[in-house]
Amino acid sequence: MKDAIFEVNNVSFSYEEANEKAMDQVSLSVPEGAFYAVLGQNGSGKSTLAKLLNGLYLPTSGQVLVCGMDTADEKNTWDIRQNAGMVFQNPDNQIVATIVEDDVAFGLENIGVAPTQMPGRIEQALLDVGMLEFRERAPHTLSGGQKQRIAIAGILAMEPRAIIFDEATAMLDPQGRKEVFAAVQKLNREKGITVLWITHFMEEAAQCQHVYIMEDGRIVMEGAPEEVFSLPEKMQALRLDAPAAARLAHRLREAGMPLKAGLLHMEETAKEVARACKLNSKA
């Protein structure tokens, strides 16, 4: 097995003013190059987990290792944040500069990259998210999806090994959501960047390799999406809806249609239904 990028061991965390734990005995592990999802309702602790993963918060107990470095050790902080970038939910509240290029440069300036090396890295990062032609635009003239891709470019330029996305598509329209998710899939596939995709959209989680489901600061279920989403009753108990296709397949199975297990996506479900119908008409 490859080395783990994120290694969380029995971590608990509570906010100062709160008496309940926002994070309760959480353990998880994300291997290098993986595309994992964290799924949960509002208030289940997803953002708290994200902030624990790059040292914005430190665990009350337990240990968080990023690329083998302990977040609790102050001298690792900047190394950790450079290796594990983070994209947040609101596209407007994470862009610092008034020009796209300058914003992508922000992280590079912070880690002290030589000015002569910056233009090349900025260009490559913008190219990787398909935003190169917008390099001289003012961020407020861009769409939500475009702003999120700029935010991703700002992280990419720092050449991280992993990126945490904390509901990066939650405030976007369906078009923007698709364009950002596709850009991230491409980065994972072509650049081998480890992705931790935090979301409350089933459809997105269903396209990841492994899903952690959170509730009340705990991880209540985990596994490959095919396993996790094939238990609609269990999902319902957690107040989560399985992807529409999975729910449809489940109902059809209940109604007596012989469909194979682990159906998550509309297209494969449609094909499977068509196959079952053909079998039926032949018989």
Residue ranges binding Mg ion (CB under 5 A)? 47
279 binds, among Mg ion, other proteins, ligand ADP, none (CB under 5 to 8 A by kind): none
- State the Cα–Cα distance between residues 83 and 158, nearest whole angstrom: 8
Binding-site size for ligand ADP (CB under 6 A) equals 12
252 binds, among Mg ion, ligand ADP, other proteins, none (CB under 5 to 8 A by kind): none
Please say whether the dihedral angle defined by the alpha carbons of residues 196, 202, 208 and 214, taken in this order, is positive or negative: positive
Tokens coding 103: 């914003």
Contact of 226 with 262, CB cutoff 8 Å = yes
Contact of 148 with 168, CB cutoff 8 Å = yes
Tokens coding 158: 């720092």
- State the Cα–Cα distance between residues 278 and 231, nearest whole angstrom: 27
Residue 40: exposure state from Cβ atoms within 10 A (0-12, 13-18, ≥19): buried
What is the bridge-based pairing of β-strands 194-199 and 162-166?
A: parallel
- Residues 164-203: x/- map of binding to ligand ADP (CB under 6 A)? ----------------------------------------
Question: Which 23-82 positions form the footprint of ligand ADP (CB under 6 A)?
Answer: 40, 42-48
Which stretch in 38-46, 66-74, 132-140, 234-242 sits in contact with other proteins by CB under 8 A? 132-140
Residue (47 or 269) nearer to Mg ion, CB: 47
Question: Which 105-124 positions form the footprint of other proteins (CB under 8 A)?
Answer: 105-115, 118-119, 122
Q: How far is the CB of 231 from ligand ADP (least distance, A)?
A: 21
DSSP-assigned beta bridge partners for residue 165 = 87, 197
From residue 257, give the alpha-carbon distance in Å to each of 41, 50, 121, 268, 269. 32, 41, 54, 15, 12
Tokens coding 123: 């260009």
18 binds, among ligand ADP, other proteins, Mg ion, none (CB under 5 to 8 A by kind): ligand ADP
Binding site for other proteins (CB under 8 A): 51, 54, 56, 78, 81-82, 85-86, 88, 90, 92-99, 101-102, 105-115, 118-119, 122, 138-140, 154-155, 158
Binding site for ligand ADP (CB under 6 A): 15, 17-18, 22, 40, 42-48
